[in-house]
Structure 1
Amino acid sequence: MSLSNLPTEMVNPKTRNLDARDTFEILKLINEEDALVALAIREVLTEIDKVVQMCINCLEKNGRVFYVGAGTSGRVAYVDAVELIPTYSLQEGVFIPIIAGGTQALGKSVEGVEDDEEGGKNDLFSYKPSEKDVVIGIAASGRTPYVAGALRYAKQCGCKTALICNVRKPLLAEYADVVIAAETGPEVVAGSTRMKAGTAQKMILNMISTTVMVKMGKVYDNLMVDVMVLNEKLRERAQNIVTHITGVDKQTAEIYLKKADYNVKVAVLMILSKNDVEECRKILQDQSNLRKALQIAVR
């Protein structure tokens, strides 16, 4: 299929004469089109779930999850991956974003790199992927050569692979164990896949990484109990989390957080189990899931 025949490249009949409309009309059209994104994602929840299970299995075997994309797709990948570190105290090198053109492409356009299939392979090669790893390619058109190179090489290495795209029957499907094809249709501005397609990619990656973190014990109830306390805002958030779970006041929460070196799980376990900090650390070292750790410690 030629590029012009891809739905993401077609002219959107709903937004014809866009330049002749007033600003409120334009905003209303963009909003209406954006509302279709979540509906498109609803149609591929089964495929998203398969990728989540794939990632959980990978991390349980000490594998890594790679996101690979070019342009907007690569930038979206970076936004999702890097935020997992402070939000869930995830160590670096577990979720790894790779963007065509390298990190310089995050802040400016690097021309031609998305067409470099060998570049996609080489960038992934530098991480020495193995059968323990998962590689997720992200390409609105489902055909980006850079992503193709990475996915093809990933298959050769025995990795599990997935493709996130915005068209049906993408060319890169042959290199993916699971295809998540969220059909977002023509863009408000024809071909501007930084819009609906990019939004869909961001939402899907959020869904994947968040669900994986929840099932890996990084969340208790709906609270980020593995949060890194790196600033005053996060310190107050940690206090609120401890208060919510244990029922103590914020002053008491702060006292226990200090004793626990601002480890929320340790502070909660100390309060509810009445054990000292070292005993709580030991319990969590053996069982990092707070709900299960509480079942062990609070009898």
Structure 2
Amino acid sequence: MKEHLELLTTESRNEQSMKIDTAGPTEILRIMNEEDQKVALAVKEVLPEIEAAVKFVFESFQRGGRLIYMGAGTSGRLGVLDAVECPPTFSTGTEMVQGLIAGGAGAFLKAVEGAEDSPELGVEDLKQIGLTNDDTVIGIAASGRTPYVIGALKYARSIGAKTVALSCNKDAAISKEADQSIEVIVGPEVLTGSTRLKAGTAHKMVLNMISTSSMILLGKAYENLMVDVHVSNEKLKERAIGIIQKITGVSYETALEALETSGLQAKTAIVMIKTGKTKEEAEKLLADANGYVRTAIEDVEK
């Protein structure tokens, strides 16, 4: 990867921040805020590409496959962040959505120099988790040229896994190695080359969209409520009770009793209350409806 960095959009200089070193706090913040407002509009431009990625991921989940994020530095950390939020939000297993970062888990807290320059390391990391053709791999690189990600995407495609390349440069090198590219062109950074800024924000937004959309399609939401929330602490228990109340209109005490009777499964508790069924009957209704709360309730109403 010997192309000149200065030719990349992510490495070019931003005309709006050329004198930021002489600015006071108010002016610095104004410049940053104005630049950040461009991010959502840039993401809007690639919604069709994001939709294609969501379809890959949803189909992988339907086959029992996984979503694997891969990246180095900030890009890798964003993938890990999105992955670790899925279990508490959607009650997924820890294997269902995974984030791999060049240099291993320790690189999340401390940079591992040189790890991103090895395409072989990307291949090895995917082999370590037993990648299959049921999985979807999303390679993340703001520059679009990270060897670790390129190696991973090439290997993933070679075994038939679906692949997505997420970058912030046109005609990115990683785009050529993926079934679907998502190139979010946010323009030059306020601090030249600091892609943890607009590029990082854009990638966080896209990853949120991909994982959340896929989970909604899987039935992890009812209306706009997180009905598959994992009740692992008091805060999440209170959230689950509130969700049950909003959907069913019952009292706090009734919602609490149903949640505890259901084994802390908000979906089951909702179906129990809405249909008047027992825990076992509600579980069967949900199983027959492939986990979709609305379908389970409507099947009884019919």
Normalised by the length of structure 2, the TM-score is 0.97
| Residue 85 of structure 2: aligned partner | 83
Map Cα deviations across residues 59-115 of structure 1 (whole Å, 9 max, x no partner). 111111110000000000011011000100011211111100111011111111111
Partners of 1:266 and 1:284 within 8 A in 2: yes
Provide the C-alpha distance between the structure 1 equivalents of 2:192 and 2:248, rounded to a whole number of angstroms: 52
- The counterpart of 2:174, out of the listed 166, 172, 178, is 172
Q: Deviations over 1:197-236 (max 9, x none)?
A: 0111110000000000000000000000000111111111
Q: Deviations over 1:264-299 (max 9, x none)?
A: 111111111111111111211222100001012234
Pairwise CA distance, 1:173: 1.8
Q: Partner letter of residue 31 of structure 1?
A: N
**Aligned-residue RMSD, C-alpha:** 0.9
Determine which of 72, 75, 79 is the counterpart of 2:74: 72
List runs of 5+ in structure 1 lacking aligned partners. Answer: none
- Indicate which of 18, 28, 31 corresponds to 1:29: 31
Contact 1:12 1:186 in 2 (8 A): yes
SS of the residue 1:147 aligns to: helix
Between the aligned partners of 2:68 and 2:298, the Cα distance in structure 1 is: 34
Given candidates 291, 297, 300, the residue that maps to 1:297 is 300
- Specify the SS of the correspondent of 1:229: coil
CA distance in 2, matches of 1:236, 1:27: 37
CA shift for structure 1 position 245: 0.5
Q: How much has 1:2 moved relative to structure 2?
A: 1.5
In the other structure, the counterpart of 2:130 is: 128
| 1:21 partner amino acid | A
1:154 counterpart letter in structure 2: A
For residues 65 and 270 of structure 2, the distance between their equivalents in structure 1, rounded to whole angstroms, comes to 29
Superimposed CA distance per residue, residues 139-158 of structure 1 (whole angstroms, 9 cap, x where no aligned partner): 00111001011001111111
Question: Among 20, 38, 48, which residue is 2:50 paired with?
Answer: 48
> 2 CA distance for matches of 1:296 and 1:207?
30
Q: Distance in 2 between matches of 1:200 and 1:231?
A: 31
Distance 2:139 2:59 in 1: 18
- The CA deviation at 1:128 is 2.1
Point out 4+ residue stretches in structure 1 off by more than 2 angstroms.
Answer: none
Partner of 2:262: 260
Aligned length: 299
Task: State the one-letter code of the partner of 2:93.
Answer: Q
- Amino acid aligned to 1:119: L
Percent identity at matched positions? Answer: 46
Structure 1 Cα separation of the partners of residues 16 and 236 of structure 2: 44
Counterpart Cα distance in 1 of 2:125 and 2:279: 43
Give the partner amino acid of 1:214.
I
1:285 matched to which residue of 2? 287
**1:65·1:134 contact (CA, 8 Å) conserved in 2?**
yes
Letter in 1 for 2:95: G
Worse-matched range after superposition: 234-243 or 123-132: 123-132
Instruction: Name the CA distance, whole Å, in 2 between partners of 1:121 and 1:263.
Output: 38
The letter of the residue matching 1:188 is V
User: How many Å separate the matches in 2 of 1:120 and 1:175?
Assistant: 13
Q: Which residue pairs with 1:246 in the alignment?
A: 248
Distance, in Å, in 2 between the alignment partners of 1:254 and 1:298 is: 24
Supply the distance in 2 between the matched residues of 1:100 and 1:246 (Cα, whole angstroms): 46
Q: Which residue of 1 aligns with 2:145?
A: 143
1:9 maps to 11
Q: Give the equivalent residue in structure 2 for 1:198.
A: 200
- Asked if the contact 1:272/1:298 (under 8 Å) is kept, the reply is no
How does the TM-score come out when normalised to structure 1? 0.98
Give the secondary-structure state (helix, strand or coil) at the position aligned to 1:39. Answer: helix
In the alignment, structure 2 segments of 5+ residues that lack a partner are none
